[in-house]
């Protein structure tokens, strides 16, 4: 998917309609990321709202020359979600969700009913090696830096890069065919 630079430019200029289109394009993915971090629908919805308000308010600070728009809003979404998990109320309400990852969430019947696409993805994600699930979880869903992820997985940085590339290649084959 090509980056919608014109919409981004219009949003930076205060165009609500452009912002609405970008929301339509990215909100589902960001909600998946946020939900993967907080594991609670209500909290995730709050975080998603907060994240998009931040995207709108800080849109002037994004420039396409610096990196991908998706990377920029992905960071905002992850940081907003992580902030939510740090609140005391969240810590008290959260029970046994600390060990879930995106595959566990994907496996829940709730999601499968809603998203026809997810069924297909689930089938292949199930085929992803446990090492791939772990690496994608850390780098994409949790926002670890490459150095932190290598340390967490106790593998050299070079191995991390190669393994991550192979895992995403597998994902691309599943998703894009």
Partner 1 sequence: MSTEEIISSGKLELYVTGSLPAKEAAEIAEAVRKDPVLQKEVEAIETSLIQLAGSVSPGVASTIWSKILNSIRPVRTMEEPDTRSVNWAAISGWAAAVLAVGGIFWLLNTNKDLQDEIELTTTENSDLREQLQETETRLAGSKEILNILRSKDYETILLPGNRDVAPEAFAKVYFDKTNMVAYIDSRGLPEATTTMVYQAWSLKLDPLTPTSMGLLDQANEVEEGIYKFENVPDPDAFGITLEPAGGSESPTLTQLYTLGTVSP
Q: Could you list the residues that contact partner 1 (CB under 8 A)?
A: 1-3, 16, 19-20, 23, 26-33, 35-36, 41, 44-45, 48-49, 52-53, 56-57, 65-68, 70-71, 74-75, 102, 105-106, 110-111, 114-115, 117-118, 121-122, 125, 136, 139-141, 143-147, 149, 160-162, 164-165, 168, 171-172, 174-176
DSSP 78-106: HHHHHHHHHSHHHHHH--S-TT--HHHHH
Indicate the residue among 90 and 166 with the shorter CB distance to partner 1: 166
- In the complex, what is the shortest distance from the CB of residue 50 to partner 1, in angstroms, rounded to a whole number? 8
* Contact between residue 135 and residue 163 where contact means Cβ atoms under 8 Å apart: yes
Q: Using CA atoms, how far apart are residues 23 and 17, in angstroms rounded to an integer?
A: 10
Min dist CB 158 to partner 1, Å, is: 9
Q: What are phi and psi of 37, to 5 degrees?
A: -85, -45
**How many whole angstroms separate alpha carbon 161 and alpha carbon 167?**
10
To partner 1, the closest distance from the beta carbon of 87 in angstroms equals 19
**153 vs 55: CA distance, rounded Å:** 32
Closest contact distance (angstroms) between CB of 86 and partner 1 is 20
- Would you say 29 or 87 has its CB closer to partner 1? 29
Of 123, 141, 25, nearest to 149 by C-alpha is 141
Q: How far is the CB of 92 from partner 1 (least distance, A)?
A: 22
Q: How far is the CB of 91 from partner 1 (least distance, A)?
A: 21
Q: Torsion angle, CA of 164/120/81/22, rounded to 10 degrees? A: 100
Question: Between residues 3 and 87, which has the closer beta carbon with respect to partner 1?
Answer: 3
> Which CB sits closer to partner 1, 87 or 145?
145
Q: Which lies closer to partner 1 via its Cβ, residue 87 or residue 110?
A: 110
Q: Which is nearer to partner 1, 42 or 88 (CB)?
A: 42
């Amino acid at each position: 998917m090509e980056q919608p630079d014109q919409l981004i430019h219009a949003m930076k200029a205060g165009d609500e309609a452009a912002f609405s289109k970008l929301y339509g394009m990215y909100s589902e993915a960001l909600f998946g990321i946020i939900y993967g971090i907080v594991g609670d629908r209500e909290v995730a919805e709050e975080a998603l709202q907060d994240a998009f308000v931040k995207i709108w308010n800080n849109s002037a600070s994004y420039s396409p020359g610096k990196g991908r728009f998706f990377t920029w809003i992905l960071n905002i979404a992850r940081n907003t979600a992580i902030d939510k998990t740090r609140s005391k109320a969240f810590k008290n309400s959260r029970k046994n969700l600390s060990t879930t990852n995106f595959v566990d969430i994907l496996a829940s019947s709730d999601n499968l009913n809603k998203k026809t696409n997810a069924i297909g993805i689930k089938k292949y994600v199930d085929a992803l090696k446990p090492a791939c699930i772990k690496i994608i979880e850390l780098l994409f869903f949790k926002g670890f830096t490459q150095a932190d992820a290598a340390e967490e997985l106790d593998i050299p940085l070079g191995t991390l890069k190669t393994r991550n590339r192979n895992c995403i290649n597998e994902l691309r084959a599943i998703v894009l065919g």
